Amino acid sequence: MVNAMSEQKSPVAKIKGISDLQSKLASESPEDDASQLPATATDTSTTKRATKTHYRALIVDDNAAFQKLLGLSLSMHPQIGPIDCADSGESAIEKAKATYYDIIFMDALMPGIDGYQACALLRENPDYKHTPIIMVSGLTEPYDEVKAFIAGSTTYVRKPVQQIPFKALITRVLNLLEYRVS
């Protein structure tokens, strides 16, 4: 398997199988299985920390179309390296046990363990105590945002994601990660 981090063709090449993804986007329906989304750009062996130049991201959302959209948006940032996806809180926790993620995007409402519970469980793990966890949700009540912060979320972004403020948020989070590494 070719390591996508070593390929410098385009930012979207960071997501494994992006050419297949682009052709499938035109033909597939939104309810297609989220497990078919390109997940890891490198192997799935356990790693502790990313390099100083590339940060591993995890997108947790039960909506495959949103995973793809967010993955493409994140891949435009050169500091974002491998991007993995999970479609449930349980899957996110399992992936986080096997691989360290530098930044996590978590939907609030999912079947099974929701984003709030998954965030709280991740915060119990010392490796994820200071990891940016960004809650991304369509919920708009102030209580929902407060609930996310109580669960341990770093910040809260409402769906639909507005690209200009989102890009500024990602830049701030990446600057924070750079500061922590140095």
**Collapsed DSSP state (helix, strand, coil) of residue 104:** strand
Q: Give the pLDDT score at 182.
A: 72
| Dihedral pair phi/psi, residue 35, rounded to 5° | -70, -15
The structure tokens listed for 171 are 């830049």
For 83-122, how does the pLDDT look when each residue is reduced to its tens digit (9 = 90+)?
999 999 999 999 999 999 999 999 999 999 999 999 999 9
Q: Give the pLDDT score at 16.
A: 44
Q: Give the pLDDT score at 52.
A: 56
Number of H helices, E strands in the chain: 6, 5
Half-sphere exposure of 5 (CA within 13 A, CB side): 16
What is the average per-residue pLDDT within 171-177? 93
Question: Nearest CA to 79 among 153, 11, 17, 133?
Answer: 11
Q: What share of the chain is helix, strand, coil (3-state, %, to 5)?
A: 45, 15, 40
Q: Give the pLDDT score at 181.
A: 77
Please, are residues 131 and 163 in contact by the beta-carbon 8 Å criterion?
no
Residues 178, 101, 69, 162, Cα dihedral to 10°: -50
**Collapsed DSSP state (helix, strand, coil) of residue 86:** strand
What Rg do the C-alpha atoms of the chain give, in angstroms?
15
Q: Give the pLDDT score at 34.
A: 40
Could you give the domains of the chain? 4-181 (3.40.50.2300)
For 33-82, how does the pLDDT look when each residue is reduced to its tens digit (9 = 90+)?
443 333 333 333 344 444 457 999 999 999 999 999 999 999 999 999 99
In terms of pTM, does the model score above 0.75?
no
Other beta carbons less than 10 A from residue 159's beta carbon:
17
Burial of 156: CB neighbours in 10 Å, binned 0-12, 13-18, 19+: middle
